[in-house]
Every structure is written in C-alpha cells, then in structure tokens.
Structure 1
Amino acid sequence: MAKSATAAPRLDPVRLANLEDFDSADLLSGDHCEGQRYTRVQLDGLDLTGITFLECELLSVAMNEAQLRGARFTDCRFEELYAPVFRAARSSWRDVELTRTRLGSAEVFDSALQSVHFDGGKLGYMNLRSSKLTDVLISDCIIDELDLSGARGLRVALQNCRIGTLDVTDAILKDFDLRSSEFSMIRGVGGLKGATVDDYQLNLLAPILAEQLGIRVEG
C-alpha cells in the first residue's frame, strides 16, 4: 500500500471589512475588542489578561511586557508586531495571520493555535511547550529556538525557515513538515515521530540519531 503524502496545513484566509480605527491604548483585562484596527498603538506593559480580539487588525503594534495570559485572538491580522518580551501563556489563536513579526522571548506555552500563519519575521525564544497546534504554517522566519516540548502538532509546516534549536522532547506530531527549513540543533529527536524531512535533513539527523541510540559509526 502506497504511503499517503504529508497533509499541508488547512488555512482559512482572514477577511476583514468595515474596521473602525482605534488609536487608544486604554485597554483593560477582559475587554472584548471587535471589528477594530489598531495602528502604531503602544500596549507595552498593560495588563490585558483574558482580553478578546475578534476580527481585528493590529498594525505596527508594540506589546512588550504586556500581560496577555488567557487572551483570545480570532479572525485577526497582525503586521509588524513588536515585543522583546511577549507574554501570552494559555492563549487561544484561531484564524490568525502574523506578518513580519519581531519577538524576543515569546511565552505562548499551554496555548491553542488553529489555522495560524506566521509569515516572515525574527523570533528569539518561541516557547510553545504543551501547546496544541492544528493547521499552523511558519514560513520565511528566523527563529533562535523553537520549543515544542510536550506539544501536540497536527498539519504543521515550517517552510524556508532558519532555526537554531528545535526542541520536540515528548511532542506528539502528525503531518509535521520540516522540509526546506534549516536547523542547527534538534533536542528530543524521539519526538520527531510523525514528522517529514527531506534527504538532506535526514543526513544531518543521522549522527544525532546514532548518538541517542548508542550506535558507533566507524570507517
């Protein structure tokens, strides 16, 4: 029986219309923001715990040290999101596009991401530990460390990315496409079960697999 091809992420396009321009940073935890456009708004350091953004566009918004724990983003588009420290643990992302994102340390652990596209940008430490990723595409990004330890990933693709360290310790993956991306180090290679790599990547993985399995290579 022929093996089935790796399934690609199923992304729903974000369509926004009739947005209301909103230029105030007077947002509070638990707020419900719907149908709004934020341009160059400084949200640094605000407590936005449990906030909801529905059908919103955020352009060149700064969220450094903002507390976004438990936040919900649905049908949203980000362009040039900036945050040296991004705190969004236990957050929910559904039908979201993020373009040219610049994050330093991003704490997004224990979160749920569905139909999310990161397109271009620079990410330092991306902490997605114990998160659930469904239909996620990360393309043309530079990432220092992508931590997926304990995460569950279904139809996830990393395309044309450069990643320093990929940690998949205890991850559960299916249709997880790593082809076309570069890695300097992979931790927890046993968590790569369910991933797809190309021939070149397989050659790079060989010494790591040999070391973990206790295989001696001579000759």
Structure 2
Amino acid sequence: MARVTKRGPQLDRIVLENLLDNDGALVGRGDDRAAERYTRVDFSGRDFTGTGFTECELHAVDLNTTVLRGTSWAECVATELHAAVFSAPRSSWRDVRIEHSRLGSVEMYEANLRSVQIDGSKLDFVNLRNATLTDVLISNCIIDELDISSAVVQRLELRDCRIGTLDVAGARLTDVDLRSSDFSAIHSLEGLKGATIDDAQLSLLAPLLAAHLGILVD
C-alpha cells in the first residue's frame, strides 16, 4: 500500500534587528507600530482595536482583557505573554512566534494565521472557530480545549502537545498532523478528514468511531 506523504508547516525565519525600546505608554487604537521592543509592559485593559505591529518583540507583556480585535501582527516574536483573557477576534498573524506564554481564554475566532508557531505554552480554551490557518506549528503545549470548528486549515502540526478536547465540527483540514500529540476527547469525528493520526491514536479512537458509525462491538 502506498504511503501518503503529508506536507508540514512551512515557517519563515524571523529576524529582528535595530529595535527601539518602547514603554507602551503612547500605543493606541489604530496605530501602526514597527521595529519596537516591549519588555515587561502592562497593556491589560487597553483598546488596541485595528492596531498593527510589524517587526516587534514582546517579552513578559501583560495582555489581559486587552482589546485586540482586528489587530495585525507581522514578523513578531513574543515570549512569556500573560493574559487570563486574550481577546483577538478577526485578527491577522503572519510570521509570528509565541513562546513560553500563559494564556487563559483565547478568543481568536475568524482570525487569519499564516506561518505561525506557538511553543512551550499553556492555554486553557482556544477559540479558532471560522478561522483560517495556513502553515501553523503548535509544539510542546498544554491546551485544555482547542476549537477549530468550521475553520479552514492547511498544513497544521500539533507536535508533542497535550490536548484535553479537540473540536473539529465542520472544519476543512488539509495536511494536518496530529500524530505526536495526546487527546482526551475529540468532538465531531467527521471533521478529522484530512488529518493524519498514528496507530496508537487510532486504537484510542476506535470506540468513538464505532459509536459514530453505529457499529456494535461485542
């Protein structure tokens, strides 16, 4: 039997040089910020609707309840972000790396992610409903619930992650690699079309697949 070759995420290298340190005091709604570094800045509760960040670095920044609706992020690196509520619906992310962050409720429905990596982070509930994901790598993360229902997903890899619940209802998946991650539950099994799983995952899913197909196992 021929082996089907899956294509993994294609991630561009991010190089940040000659950044200016910024205390964030003057950053506001609808701004365009470029080549800036924010270190231990508290943005919690601020309104950044429609703000654009290009070639920026964020370290230990607090974004709790910050309004990030419609923001755009390009060629940015973020480490140790903190937010119990991370609200960025309809936002745009291109060539972004997020590392070692702690986010609670992540609202990114109808967002657009391209060439994005999230590594070594803990996230509670991630809402990516109706989002578009292209070339996304999520690695070494713990996620209580990941909802990509009705999303269009191409070249996504979940690498060495622990996922509580994965919801794929109505999702359209192409080249999605789930093989090295653990899941406690998966909702809407028909949404897994286009994903690759391993033998161990298949054995764990067998009872759910049998119930979904109306097969009695005796």
Q: Taking structure 1 as the reference length, what is the TM-score of the superposition?
A: 0.98
SS of structure 2 residue aligned to 1:184: strand
Identity between Structure 1 and Structure 2 (%): 54
How far 1:24 sits from its partner (Å)? 2.7
Cα distance in 2 between the residues matched to 1:211 and 1:142: 28
1:186 alignment partner in structure 2 = 186
How far 1:112 sits from its partner (Å)? 0.3
Cα distance in 1 between the residues matched to 2:102 and 2:34: 24
2:140 alignment partner in structure 1 = 140
How far 1:13 sits from its partner (Å)? 1.1
SS of structure 1 residue aligned to 2:100: strand
Does residue 1:174 correspond to 2:152, yes or no? no
Kept in 1: contact 2:24–2:43 (CA 8 A): no
Which ranges of structure 1 fall in alignment gaps of 5 or more residues?
none
- Correspondence list, 1:37-48, <5 A: 37-48=37-48
How far 1:189 sits from its partner (Å)? 0.7
Cα distance in 2 between the residues matched to 1:105 and 1:139: 19
SS of structure 1 residue aligned to 2:141: strand
SS of structure 1 residue aligned to 2:42: coil
Cα distance in 2 between the residues matched to 1:26 and 1:162: 39
2:155 alignment partner in structure 1 = 155
RMSD: 0.9
Cα distance in 1 between the residues matched to 2:94 and 2:86: 18
Deviations 1:4-33 (A, max 9, x none): 311110000111000001113332110100
SS of structure 2 residue aligned to 1:210: helix
Kept in 2: contact 1:25–1:42 (CA 8 A): no
The 4+ residue runs of structure 1 with deviation greater than 2 A are: 1-4
1:88 alignment partner in structure 2 = 88
- Correspondence list, 1:62-81, <5 A: 62-81=62-81
Amino acid at match of 1:197: I
Deviations 1:138-178 (A, max 9, x none): 00000000000000110000000000000000000010000
How far 1:3 sits from its partner (Å)? 4.0
1:126 alignment partner in structure 2 = 126
Amino acid at match of 1:90: R
Aligned length: 218
Deviations 1:34-83 (A, max 9, x none): 00000000000001000000000001100000000000000000001110
Higher deviation after alignment, 10-19 or 20-29: 20-29
Kept in 2: contact 1:118–1:139 (CA 8 A): yes
Amino acid at match of 1:72: S
Which ranges of structure 2 fall in alignment gaps of 5 or more residues?
none
Amino acid at match of 1:167: D
Cα distance in 2 between the residues matched to 1:155 and 1:103: 24
2:211 alignment partner in structure 1 = 211
Amino acid at match of 1:48: F
